[in-house]
Structure 1
Amino acid sequence: MSHTAHIPSHRKPRRSSSKLALRAGVAGGVLSTIAVAASPAQAEPVTETVEMPALTNVDLSGALSTAVAASAEATQQDVLLQDLRAQEDAAATQAAKDAKKAKDEAERKAEAERKAKEAEEARKAEEARAEAQDRASRTSERSSLSTTSSSSAGGGSSYSAPATGSAAAIVAFARAQVGDAYVMGATGPNAWDCSGLVQAAYRQAGIDLPRVSGAQSSMGTSVSLDNLQPGDILYWGSRSGSYHVAVYVGGGKYVGAQNPSTGVVERSLDWDRPSGAVRIL
């Protein structure tokens, strides 16, 4: 017996041929599978599926409604903003127009007032000039009349003869009212119209005269202005249709209720030459 016979052999036991064939077939199949998988012509796409959360109809409808509502609100706000701006622009334009209109009206009014003031001043200046000329003319006429009266026979007595009797009472009453107001239709005691004053003066002599100037100048007898006596009634206009009367007080003067601006005054005959005269006494 060999000295190694009792030592177990380290060599792997031989496999049977059938097992070797099986393993070879398996290995070949695996290699074939790998080869097929590695071949580009035979590669199949790999699809990876990602699961997404499912959306229900309720979710989609709510989101859409919210989006539509937000869009509508934004549109409405934009429309309101544009309308507000348009109103502000219109208000500013109208305010500018109103301001310009007010300015133009104020300027027009100021210009009208200025022109009216200038016209009034021009009128007053013209009246003053005319009054000055009239006074100068009357002064000249008075001087001429005085000269003529003093040179005429007996003519001077008509301007210088003193009032006596009833005439004195008439003259005294008329002169006492100088300075009273003129009021149409007034018969005293502090305001008169022309015929009211003459009527009241003659009443001092116990003579009742008609109320109006036309009737008063129709009474008595007509006398010349060159032969006047105190107490005679002077008239302006025609004798039967006079529009103004006064009392001759002597010295070439008369007293009469002239107009609202002068009241009762004593004036020279040549200040406003009468149309004629009548004598009742």
Structure 2
Amino acid sequence: MSQTAHIPSHRKPRRSASKLALRAGVAGGVLSTIAVAGAAGPANAEPVTETIEMPTLGSLGTDLSSAVAASAEASEQEALDQSLEAQEAAALEKAAKDAKKAKAEADRKAEAERAEKARKEAEAKAEAERAAAEARAEARARASRDAARTQIAATSASNSSDSGSSDSSSSSSSASESTQVASGSAAAIVAFAKAQVGDAYVSGGTGPNSWDCSGLVQAAYRQAGIDLPRISYSQSSMGTSVSLSNLQPGDILYWGSRSGSYHVAIYVGGGKYVGAQNPSTGVVERSLDWDTPSGAVRIL
């Protein structure tokens, strides 16, 4: 072995800084001891030719750099993991909010559909009740008319002379009525009303092919440029009250009281009227004797 040969160092890789400093201190102490022993030994003693390799600053820097790099990589990985976790949490929160919003919208639509269904059912029920009320009122009016006719027939049978006189008067009245001819605005009203005969009766109907009583009267008067209220009792409250013996074409007939009528129609002359009666008959032309009105008003 050469005198300048070095003893190889058996260092383990990546020692910590504290361990490296400790080793350097131990090595320094050994060198100091050798130096003292050499100075105190005999003059003819052979010099120590073997040396011990000490760790260099370069190797210490390499170990520190590796440790720092490993720590930075670990920190970067941890930061990436935290970022991914934050993104997943945000996505879950957004999905939960979207689901809640969708459910609220579905509940709102369902509630609106239920409300609309309830409204339609209420309207249908109200219409049915109104039609039934009108039918009952018409039945009562007919019963009252029949009772009056029965009483008149009984009176006529007991007094034939009075009956003959009454028949003569009645014939004259009928002849007078048959000669009535509508003109001007009245003609337009009568013509429109007659043109609707055969149309259906629908509660709340305002045409063009289905009507209720006040809807037909309102539309007929509109042909003459006259705007009437929509409701029967409001229509019968307008104009001037006239007797049934002094009717003119275009007069409004009403059943019930003038300010509380439940049915209206249009007198078309000849002892007849046109009205939207009920769902069974629709719009019809009838004789005054078929269902005698309670009264009449004149608008023209």
Max Rg structure: 1
Q: TM-score, normalised by structure 1?
A: 0.49
Q: TM-score, normalised by structure 2?
A: 0.47
